[in-house]
Structure 1
Amino acid sequence: MPLLILNIFFAAVFTLLLGSTRISAFIAGFFIGYIILWVSRPLYPDTRYFRKLPKTINLVLYFFKELVISSFRVTWDVITPSHISRPGIIGVPLSARTDLEIFLVSNLLSLTPGTLSVDLSEDRHTLFVHVMFLEDGDKTRQEIKNGLERRVLEVMR
């Protein structure tokens, strides 16, 4: 965590030195700060920062990709006269075990249009998800497990 704060500090200083208020300057500063920290990583032997940050970026990009795709799919279903939705509820077996892991998986699923986390089994091993476009339950389960849940667990563990 201290390296993340240091990286944000580098990005803020870079942005101030440029005299810019654009987010692109902050992102460029963050990237430059990351490279500086990466070069000096022998000074930080016990950190997981250099493994976690790329995985976090991967999760964010994956989520935004799914968000855009599902938004267009739901929008198309709403504006066309014939409905292509086939709603259903499926149980997704979870590999997530901690409260935070389950929280992130279920809420990121609920934030994506067309899916909604409905309930968690009492043993906390199955998440019940309402899916607006359910064509194949097994395929949808695998997409959730190998897509969103896998990326969340990579970041959290």
Structure 2
Amino acid sequence: MRLRSKWLPHPLLSLILLLTWQLLMNATSVGTLIMGAILGWVIPLITHVFWPNPPTLQRPLVLLGFVLRVLFDIVIANMQVAKLILGPTRQLQPTFVEYPLQLTHDFAISLLASTISLTPGTVSADLSDDRRTLLIHGLNVTDADELIRTIKQRYETPLLEVFECSRT
């Protein structure tokens, strides 16, 4: 293990932790910067053993677009779910959908499953043993194929570009 990776195993995670700490503190001072830097250094140092094969980030701008899309989709889905819940419940069509995965890296699959669960109205329920199918529960699914196309286009395709982990 190189010296840089031994003492700073995940520099991007360290930076994100520092920035997150600053946002949580809602103030910038020497003390909050020092504490954020310590947390940004110690947390990745302690948890690096849980990342035996971290993915390599290939296209950070695509990742930024993905994050913005997910945030937008969360806001829109919240409004749609509120409308569904406040309306007549007999119109709901809850169902389970088997989603065929193209992603192969565990981290990317986990990120996709988390994204699906973060979006109101859908929950990732299970991952098949062969890691090729994700079971998704939808609160109101009128067309399972449309849900699959939407997830593939909006979430999985950008993740395939970001982490370059598609099946060949």
Calculate the TM-score normalised by the size of structure 2.
0.61
Q: Residue deviations 1:74-104, cap 9 Å, x none?
A: 1111223455421100000001101101100
The answer to whether the aligner puts 1:97 opposite 2:80 as a matched pair is: no
* Change beyond 3 A, Cα 1:101–1:71: same
* Change beyond 3 A, Cα 1:68–1:98: same
* Change beyond 3 A, Cα 1:98–1:72: same
Q: Which amino acid letter does the alignment assign opposite residue 125 of structure 1?
A: R
What aligned pairs does 1:50-69 form with structure 2 within 5 A after superposition?
A: 51-52=59-60, 54-69=61-76
Q: Residue deviations 1:18-38, cap 9 Å, x none?
A: xx89xxxxxxxxxxxxxxxxx
Partner of 2:51: none
Q: Which runs of 5+ in 2 are unaligned?
A: 1-9, 17-27, 30-55
Q: Residue deviations 1:57-88, cap 9 Å, x none?
A: 11011101210111001111122345542110
Partner of 2:131: 124
Q: Which amino acid letter does the alignment assign opposite residue 103 of structure 1?
A: S
**Rounded Cα–Cα distance in structure 2 between residues aligned with 1:50 and 1:74:** 34
Q: CA deviation at 1:130?
A: 0.1
Secondary structure in 1 matching 2:107: helix
RMSD between aligned alpha carbons?
2.8
Q: Which amino acid letter does the alignment assign opposite residue 67 of structure 2?
A: V
Partner of 2:19: none
Q: Which runs of 5+ in 1 are unaligned?
A: 9-19, 22-47
Matched residue pairs, number? 120
